[in-house]
Amino acid sequence: MNEERVLALAGLFQACTLAHQLANEGRCDDLALDASLSSVFRIDAPSVIGVFGNVSGVRVGLRTLIGQLDESSRDMAVTRMAVTVMRLERSLARRRDLLDPLQQGIVSSKRQVEHFGLNSPQVFSRLAELYAGTLSTLRPRVMVTGNPQWLQQPAMVERVRASLLAAVRSAVLWRQVGGRQWQLLLHRRQCTMLARGLLTGTTLDNR
């Protein structure tokens, strides 16, 4: 396990946490959501940290990851979601017929970001539509449970789906830097130490 894999993993857990919070509370950390959404559009970033802007972009994810690796404070709903997203990424990798339209959709969505802004309803709607038209057709499906009060609102469902798209982006990144699911079991202690070190660094220098 190395810092790049931990950062990618933090990105995955952050996006899953945001989807879970939106579905249950109707709100989430806005800065974390911005960083996760931005990661979807940074396809050619030179490094893992470049995908999220800086380490503080995945601060929520690092905290979540530490909590998930510590069995006493684990949120099983977030854990299940993250594991399902990892499996979904594997399904996507075998489907070139979906990979191409997904990448093209992200490129066209980037133009909307430039025109309307990252947090605009138009961008959330487009990313959600992209998720529904590609990733939602694969197995396993990511099940998000929450409060019907929020999940009956189309705009909130779009935010949840956009967050799940960001989660898949991080799962792809995790795989690209050599991440494998078994590493979470064998290197849990090392992963926790690296995540704590990165989190401490963001607190000290706000990078």
For residue range 55-89, what is the model confidence (pLDDT) as tens digits? 999 999 999 999 998 877 788 999 999 999 999 99
Residue 140 sits in a domain whose CATH number is 1.10.3890.10
95-115 pLDDT, tens digit each: 999 999 999 999 999 999 999
Q: What average pLDDT does this structure show over 150-177?
A: 97
For the segment 161-179, the average pLDDT, to the nearest whole number, is 97
Give yes or no for residue 207 having a pLDDT over 50: no
CB 120 within 8 A of CB 112: yes
pLDDT surpassing 50 at residue 52: yes
Q: Is 136 exposed, middle or buried (0-12, 13-18, 19+ CB in 10 A)?
A: middle
User: Rounded CA gap, 10 and 155, in Å?
Assistant: 26
Count of domains forming the chain:
1
Residue with tokens 């977030």: 78
Answer whether residue 138 shows pLDDT above 70: yes
Global pTM value? 0.95
Percent of the chain with pLDDT over 70: 97
pLDDT at 124 over 90: yes
Q: How far apart are CA 65 and CA 68, in angstroms?
A: 5
List the domain range (segments joined by +) for residue 39.
3-205
